[in-house]
Amino acid sequence: MRTVNIGICGFGTVGSGTFAVLNRNRELIRARSGCDIRVAQLAARRQILSSNLDSVSVIRDIFQVVENPGIDVVVELIGGTTTARELVMKAISRGKHVVTANKALIAVHGNEIFAAARDHQVIVAYEAAVAGGIPIIKSLREGLGANRIEWLAGIINGTGNFILTAMQEEGRKFDEVLRQAQALGYAEADPAFDVEGIDAAHKLVILASLAFGIPLQFDRVFTEGISAIELQDMEFARELGYRIKHLGIARETESGVELRVHPTLIPDTSLIAEVDGVMNAVMVKGDAAGPTLYYGAGAGAEATASAVVADIIDVSRSLNCSPEARVPFLAFSDASFNGKPVLAIEDVETAYYLRMQVLDRPGVLSQIASIMSDRGISIEAIIQKQPRPGENHVALIMMTNRAREAELMAAVKQIEKLDSQAGKIIQLRVETLDR
Ligand code: HSE
């Protein structure tokens, strides 16, 4: 049986989970991979307390792992995009295969990394970079390989979903829930990545590159976070039969590819509306398979380790193939790629939820309705609340049919200028996820 020596760089939440799963399921993994997978070296900044370290060389310097001629696979679990990039590029140039859970690294430097991997005929595997324990990369690359992907939409940040669920279901405060997510090991080192949608945008570009065969274009993703979502909008949305979820959406249209991350109203009858807490879910619409849904823990030590170890098994198993056969097909790493552009958000079409504060007097509604109709925007539903005692303004909630974002924004600007309108209009996109 072939021995595959792996070197793990980083022993935080995911690193320790990976080591634990490899040890606990050693025999099973040996049977499935047909290899004796051995953690030969482990590099970590802090001291490691584990009873399974007998044959493992524990060191401080991660770069010693890539310089070690005995290591076949470097497992990068340090995170970040600076040192991690250097480490991965060095590993590739030394002819080592790489397994990484680093979504930021792949999203931002993936084109360069995959090009180098192709040149050196090594594998860079990144299942753990998206949606933790859900095998969504393998599903797109393998399970749905026959399909033209029309769109995908997912809850791909566990921390954000954990916060939204606790606010919506338990009425808890944003900051307090975020602290809990950090304590549970779900949040990024900089939680702004979770809360502002950056982490979800990293994951979305990775999914889109596989779904549509386009280069990784992180800087082209439209990104809005969850920090501005108010409890009252969650309640109004419920009244209208919707729930607010933070979605990453990628869709191929005739003119280009939409890449967007934002809070979204989705019908409460949709399965994805039931996805709560740290759980993630990705819905993929293929032309042959139709819609399929993938659900599971999106963060956490062992859920993410499950994906890391799956890649280690895959890489180990494929070491028996010829190098040419095992390098993944990466059309999108070609710099001369000439496919569809990523669309600007102004060119995207969605339905909208709008919450306004308007004066409770005759004619206001008809003024607003005529601005909408002048721009060809059709109104789907309206709720108007009673004014609170002593207040002249009332909350007016409006759902629109699908419209081009540029038209909607122009209408919103025009309405905000009316003297009957107080303050900014709250705007949330709506997706029915059924076409
Ligand atoms: N901070 C990420 C999340 C971890 O909450 O989803 C998994 O990528």
Do 62 and 78 contact (CB within 8 A), yes or no?
yes
Query: Closest ligand 1 atom, CA of 181?
Result: 5
pLDDT in tens, the chain (435 residues): 899 999 999 999 999 999 999 999 999 999 999 999 999 999 998 887 777 787 899 999 999 999 999 999 999 999 999 999 999 999 999 999 999 999 999 999 999 999 999 999 999 999 999 999 999 999 999 999 999 999 999 999 999 999 999 998 898 888 899 999 999 888 888 999 999 999 999 999 999 999 999 999 999 999 999 998 998 999 999 999 999 999 999 999 999 999 999 999 999 999 999 999 999 999 999 999 999 999 999 888 999 999 999 999 999 998 877 666 665 544 454 444 557 899 999 999 999 999 999 998 889 999 999 999 999 999 999 998 888 888 888 999 999 999 999 999 999 999 999 999 998 999 999 999 987
Sign of CA dihedral 26, 28, 29, 35: positive
CA nearest neighbour of 160 among 208, 217, 229? 229
Q: Which domains does the chain have, with CATH numbers?
A: 2-133+302-331 (3.40.50.720), 140-297 (3.30.360.10), 349-430 (3.30.70.260)
Nearest-atom number in ligand 1 for the CA of 159 is 5
Quick one: DSSP state of residue 395?
E
CA of 419 to the centre of ligand 1 (A): 44
Q: Whose CA is nearest to atom 4 of ligand 1?
A: 299
Give the CA radius of gyration of the chain: 24
Under 8 Å between Cβ of 326 and 44: no
Q: Which burial class, exposed, middle or buried, applies to 120 when counting CB atoms under 10 A from its CB (0-12, 13-18, 19+)? A: middle
Amino acid identity of 292? T
- Give catalytic residues, as residue numbers: 203
CA angle in degrees (0–180, nearest 5) for 359-361-362? 135
**Model's pTM, two decimal places?**
0.92
Q: Which atom of ligand 1 is nearest to the CA of 160?
A: 5
Alpha-carbon distance of 407 to 391, in angstroms, equals 31
- In this prediction, residue 201 carries a pLDDT of 98
| Residue 347 to residue 360: CA distance in whole angstroms | 34
> Is residue 10 classed as helix, strand or coil in its secondary structure?
coil
Cite the beta strand spans of 82-159 per DSSP E. 97-100, 124-125, 149-155
- Which residues sit with their C-beta closer than 6 Å to ligand 1? 132, 157-159, 186-188, 194, 199, 298-299
Q: Specify the pLDDT at position 335.
A: 45
